Chains A and B, each alone.
Chain A
Amino acid sequence: QVQLQESGPGLVKPSETLSLTCAVSGYSISSGYYWGWIRQPPGKGLEWIGSIYHSGSTYYNPSLKSRVTISVDTSKNQFSLKLSSVTAADTAVYYCARQDGHYDSSGYYVEYFQHWGQGTLVTVSS
């Protein structure tokens, strides 16, 4: 059973860097899949931040790309998020999730997040 758990400070000051870690159990990151970060501001919808493959290849949301770094530590079976120069607009619940994707028999690609962490609220405030 795949389980993910986010951890990190719940309060970050404006202009500083938000750092979160997602510990994975029940599956070895080295075995494959992309691993992603998604956030949800209070009362709003979901926003994909970015994803990383076990090899270290990364893809980021263009709207956040200049401030985001996602890394993976296969020895600890975890991956991490850093978001720099945060403002109040970065206040959100941050989720980590395993990103599954494949082509089906009709040739269409499907991508989905089946396994999610419980989420952690990060507040940006002085």
Chain B
Amino acid sequence: SSELTQDPAVSVALGQTVRITCQGDSLRSYYASWYQQKPGQAPVLVIYGKNNRPSGIPDRFSGSSSGNTASLTITGAQAEDEADYYCNSRDSSGNHRVVFGGGTKLTVL
């Protein structure tokens, strides 16, 4: 079972703002990173650290964190943003374990 908890599914109207959350004790010590995965494709990193976007990721994607919760916000969601989103971080057990959230299916209406 995942030690990072995500809502299984979220929907957003086209052009609106949506927040996808990730909860876990490890997030009190480590930043989350976020990945977008479309069917049949490898995950793509969209946010890492406090709020860093790799080159080529639109600025409508942003990240934030508070306590044990990390959030990925898409401001002005586009049809092409419909995908599965996963968070990940280092586990707080101290043994270099990496954990992923269970994923959130984003539907753009």
- Which positions in A face B, CB cutoff 8 Å? 36, 38, 45-48, 51, 59, 61-62, 95, 99-101, 104, 106, 108-114, 116-119
Contact = CB atoms under 8 A, between A and B. Distances in A.
A45 B87 CA distance: 11
Contact of A114 (B30, B54, B96): B54
A104 B31 contact: yes
B95 A46 contact: no
Minimum-distance CB pairs A-B, first 9: A112-B33, A110-B31, A110-B49, A112-B48, A59-B96, A48-B98, A116-B42, A46-B100, A45-B103
A120 to B, nearest CB: 11
Nearest to A60: B97
Given A45-B2, A46-B86, A46-B103, A111 B43 contact: no
Contacts of A113: 33, 35, 43, 45, 88
B102 interface: yes
Contacts of B45: 112-114
A10 to B, nearest CB: 16
Contacts of A46: 35, 43, 86, 88, 100, 103
B88 A111 contact: yes
Report which residue of A46, A61, A117 has the largest number of chain B beta carbons within 10 angstroms of its beta carbon: A46
Contact of A112 (B29, B88, B96, B103): B88
A110 B102 contact: no
Contacts of A45: 2, 86, 100-103
Contacts of A112: 33, 45, 48-49, 88
Interface in B54-107: 54, 86, 88-90, 95-103
